[in-house]
Chain A
């Protein structure tokens, strides 16, 4: 566990040194503030469109950062040949992978806190209240979802030869799940066999990342979700995250480093 923490700290420090997060944060802030400066029909209390734009930018930014960060971890170590001295130390390949995962996941936690604090401040200036329970659930579920995405991207970095291929495929897959995942069973019934069974199988196998997307509830000030439901969603995300990580560990242990 000590090795995993040490490695994750390195990944976290490296992500803080990189400019990616700062750039997307500044872009998100500028776009949100410019949109927020617009006054329509002399009414300065209109806020939900601003919350929607800000949350959309946060989701896009976090997905791009998480996937690109996780996708380049192992390939960069290989290309720069730093993986050899690393594995020469008393550390297993599984520990390396888990350390990389934890580092990326913690870096995303830092990024999400920064993003959502900004979002909360923007919303509060117009709404004059801060529904903390709703915001906490939104951040928590978002972070759990990013855990699945980071694990998926790490697995992809071992399956695909190029970082760019992994990033593209991971982004397409995540977008597909978020947009279509919930409706796959609906789509399936419109097809004949065997496509119907295939799509239904996909519907039940896919990690339903849309469970973690509570943006509409936050934007429209719906009451917070029941905590037990939140816990179940966390368990669901943990199972899928663990599955991808386990698959990645198995692959990494058998994979030649050359």
Chain B
């Protein structure tokens, strides 16, 4: 009786194992079939992040753009060797990052004293605490923290700018700021590469074309290429739907001014005057442009 029972139990166990194996095989086949069916849809799905080669884009998606400005501001904080206003301080003199204002990538909106945003110490804890963090206004381009560092230390802002462009490739000003400071460090090839990468992400952007022209004009000493690029920038600016916005008018001012200067240098006074007339129409300081026009006309009188 015992032997029969053991044999039956073994048979039942074997049957159960066989059934379990069959179920597993069935699940495997189902999974495989679903994978084949879904893979085609997944490859064509617009939300598929795996098409990007950027690891930040894969992991964070479009949310990464939220952090791009943080790292741009971080680069500006490095430019000031860590002496930078927090959200609790008076930020009027830091509305536009100084690295962008100095490079001409953004129109400055800063007001107030940039050296005294901390104000007088509020109490003894505040006064004592200021000894433990940077509390003197300096620029890396003017000697840095101890006033004796070379201009090459501006390189320290570059990692944060690179990270900012990685996070948001559509932020044009970061490319132009990076390119400007690379040019200041005599890294002309890297500067051009940066602008071309910006143009790849933002095709035909007038600001990037203006900066590329500036690079050709100032660093490569190639006014012909500079003129071509600036004229292309001007054409693109004219086709912009929001060309009258402050930002785009500022770009137009820069391009008109650069082209006028180029024509003036080449003694093409008539072309220069025509460009200055157009500059006057978009400029926020038409009086100074008029002064330039009169000076040019004065030079032209034999």
- Give A residues with C-beta under 8 Å from B: 38, 40-43, 45-49, 141, 182-183, 185-187, 203-204, 208, 210-214, 216-217, 219-223, 225-226, 229, 232-233
**A147 to B145 Cα, complex, angstroms:** 30
Check B128–A222 contact: CB distance below 8 A.
Answer: no
Chain B: which residue is nearest A204 at the CB level?
Answer: B125
Across the interface, A185 reaches (CB within 8 A) one of B81, B122, B146, B190, namely B122
Check B132–A42 contact: CB distance below 8 A.
Answer: no
Across the interface, B145 reaches (CB within 8 A) one of A41, A185, A212, A220, namely A220
Check A42–B190 contact: CB distance below 8 A.
Answer: yes
Question: What's the least CB distance linking B250 to chain A, in Å?
Answer: 27
Check A182–B155 contact: CB distance below 8 A.
Answer: no
Check A223–B145 contact: CB distance below 8 A.
Answer: yes
Give chain B residues whose Cβ lies under 8 Å from the Cβ of A186.
88, 122
B289 within 8 A of A: no
Give chain A residues whose Cβ lies under 8 Å from the Cβ of B160.
49
B126 within 8 A of A: yes
**A140 to B131 Cα, complex, angstroms:** 16
B129 within 8 A of A: yes
Check B131–A222 contact: CB distance below 8 A.
Answer: no
Chain B: which residue is nearest A218 at the CB level?
Answer: B82
Check A41–B187 contact: CB distance below 8 A.
Answer: yes
Check B134–A217 contact: CB distance below 8 A.
Answer: yes
Check B158–A41 contact: CB distance below 8 A.
Answer: yes
Count chain B residues whose beta carbon lies closer than 8 angstroms to a beta carbon of A: 29
Give chain A residues whose Cβ lies under 8 Å from the Cβ of B123.
185
Give chain B residues whose Cβ lies under 8 Å from the Cβ of A233.
132
Q: What are 17 inter-chain pairs, A to B, with CB distance below 8 A?
A: A40-B159, A41-B158, A42-B190, A45-B155, A141-B132, A187-B88, A203-B125, A210-B132, A210-B133, A211-B129, A219-B82, A220-B134, A221-B81, A221-B146, A222-B81, A222-B146, A225-B131
Give chain A residues whose Cβ lies under 8 Å from the Cβ of B125.
185, 203-204, 208
**A217 to B82 Cα, complex, angstroms:** 8
Total CB contacts across the A-B interface at under 8 A = 88
**A48 to B134 Cα, complex, angstroms:** 15
Check B82–A216 contact: CB distance below 8 A.
Answer: yes
**Which chain B residues numbered 121 to 180 have a C-beta less than 8 Å away from chain A?**
122-123, 125-126, 128-129, 131-134, 144-146, 149, 152, 155-156, 158-160, 162
Across the interface, B134 reaches (CB within 8 A) one of A45, A49, A216, A229, namely A216
B230 within 8 A of A: no
B259 within 8 A of A: no
B99 within 8 A of A: no
Across the interface, B129 reaches (CB within 8 A) one of A182, A187, A226, namely A182
* Contact A40 B82, CB 8 Å, known A45-B152, A187-B88: no
Chain B: which residue is nearest A185 at the CB level?
Answer: B122
Across the interface, B78 reaches (CB within 8 A) one of A48, A182, A208, A229, namely A48
Check B149–A40 contact: CB distance below 8 A.
Answer: no
**A25 to B214 Cα, complex, angstroms:** 48
* B 233-274 binary contact with A (CB < 8 Å = 1; else 0): 000000000000000000000000000000000000000000
Give chain A residues whose Cβ lies under 8 Å from the Cβ of B133.
210, 213-214, 216-217
Further contacts, 7 of them, CB under 8 A, given A204-B125, A214-B132: A40-B162, A41-B155, A182-B126, A185-B123, A185-B125, A217-B133, A220-B78
**Which chain B residues numbered 110 to 127 have a C-beta less than 8 Å away from chain A?**
122-123, 125-126
Check B128–A46 contact: CB distance below 8 A.
Answer: no
**A185 to B160 Cα, complex, angstroms:** 31
Chain A: which residue is nearest B86 at the CB level?
Answer: A183
**A202 to B177 Cα, complex, angstroms:** 42
* Contact A43 B158, CB 8 Å, known A183-B88, A222-B81, A222-B146: yes
